[in-house]
Amino acid sequence: MVEAQDHRMSEAEIARLAVHFEGVMPGYDRSESGMRKLASDLDLTPDETAEWPRSRDGAVQGVVCAATVDGAERPWTVLQDHHGVRVALSRITGGARTHAEEFRRVAAAVQGILRTPDHFGTYANGRIGCGEAWGTPYLRWRGKYATVELRAGASGPELVSDFTDLWEEDYRDDMARNPTGFIGTFSGDVLLDVPAARASDLGEFTEALAALFSRLPAETLALGVSLTLGLFGTVTREDGTDTSPLMFDIRSGERLHLGYCAPGGVAEAGSGERVAALGWEPTNPETLRGGPELEYFDAPWYFDGGGPGETRAHDAAALIVRTAKAAGVRRVGDLALGGEAEQQGRAYYRFPGLRLKTV
């Protein structure tokens, strides 16, 4: 059996394609002449010896071109289907970290031409590539009529051109059915109006949290962002009064990190032996593995959630819920995301995959 060979466009090759891709609109005629026009608009030459890619109904849905990849001319397919015009910028094997690092490399080259994206984030469960360990990161340059997107595909990053209104309608519908991941923007606090579905109980929250964690380090690594999410919990002190302190400090950059701050005045939550028995270990700054995402990390208790492809997602989610219960959190409504998470640096965020209210 012959192993698949990786092919990566160089930064210069990516930039050359991105220059032409910015002017492409979806909606080419599904015919040989229509696909030749698409190739011409991308400054590519159709391979007249190759078979035309066709959909199940027999219509032409793409064109095989001669493209320069890795400094050599190779057959390269440009497709137009119900997801718009799309072309791969890499064809790679490997695991989550390999794909995340390749996405980040390609993204830097594309942004050199298209500039800072308007929006970024992840797709909802059930969308393209969602079953892969590297998740569904995307960068999006929003135009009035057409959207250019860089997204993670099954075999590497892809450039996509789709109609803006259709893209946004599909995205809202998908997120309403399967709230997943996060949405971000650099264009001020202007985000898609995605329904804020909340978990109905702690069991549902545990499942949602595990799903969020499972690909989060790969997605944040791919997008080049560092996330900080503070979870607050309402508990009752020994004197009978309620308090809602910061309990969990969640970080994701190149790895997933959890921190726990035991609420004061709650005996069950504060004992070192009890906290350790739940699954936490004392924070040791000298042994923490991470990058910028760990800046100002001062939680006394720590859990290493792992990196791309090795994330301990279910363990991390169960640990948070188990600890919250031990501290006196009675229901999912007693947990909330701190509002500081919705503006980090120059970016604004929403976290539909967390399934919690924001305070």
Contact at 8 Å (CB) between 275 and 262? yes
pLDDT at position 1, please?
Answer: 40
pLDDT at position 195, please?
Answer: 73
Residue 216's nearest CA partner among 117, 99, 131, 313 is 313
CB neighbours (10 Å) of residue 352?
A: 24
- What's the token pair of residue 326? 């031990």
DSSP letters, 221-264, are HHHT--EEEEEEE-EE-TTS-EE--EEEEEEESSSEEEEE-PPT
Helix axes 96-114, 11-21, angle to 10 degrees: 60
Domain ranges of the chain: 7-185, 202-344
Contact at 8 Å (CB) between 101 and 156? no
C-alpha–C-alpha distance, residues 156 and 99, integer Å: 6
pLDDT in tens, the chain (359 residues): 445 689 999 999 999 999 999 889 999 999 999 999 999 999 999 998 999 999 998 999 999 999 889 889 999 999 998 879 999 999 999 999 999 999 999 999 999 999 999 999 999 865 655 568 999 999 999 999 999 999 999 999 999 999 999 999 999 888 888 888 999 998 877 777 787 789 999 999 999 999 999 999 999 999 999 999 999 999 988 787 888 999 999 999 999 999 999 887 665 555 678 899 999 999 988 878 777 778 789 999 999 999 999 999 999 999 999 999 999 999 999 999 999 999 998 999 999 999 999 99
Helix axes 202-223, 313-327, angle to 10 degrees: 130
Q: Output the CA–CA distances (angstroms, integers) from residue 180 to 49, 127, 209, 354, in the order listed.
A: 43, 11, 10, 8
pLDDT at position 2, please?
Answer: 42
C-alpha–C-alpha distance, residues 167 and 200, integer Å: 29
Strand 343-344 to strand 347-350: parallel, antiparallel, or no bridges (unpaired)? antiparallel
pLDDT at position 42, please?
Answer: 95
* Amino acid at site 174: D
152 three-class SS: strand
Tell me which DSSP letter residue 83 carries: T
Query: b/e for 97-129, b at 16 or more Cβ within 10 A?
Result: bbbbbbbebbbebbbeebeebbbbbbbbbebbb
Backbone dihedral region for residue 279 (phi beyond 0: left; psi -120 to 50: alpha; all else: beta): left
pLDDT at position 45, please?
Answer: 94
Residue 237's nearest CA partner among 215, 263, 198 is 263
Residue 213's nearest CA partner among 181, 176, 171 is 181
Look up the pTM and report it: 0.93
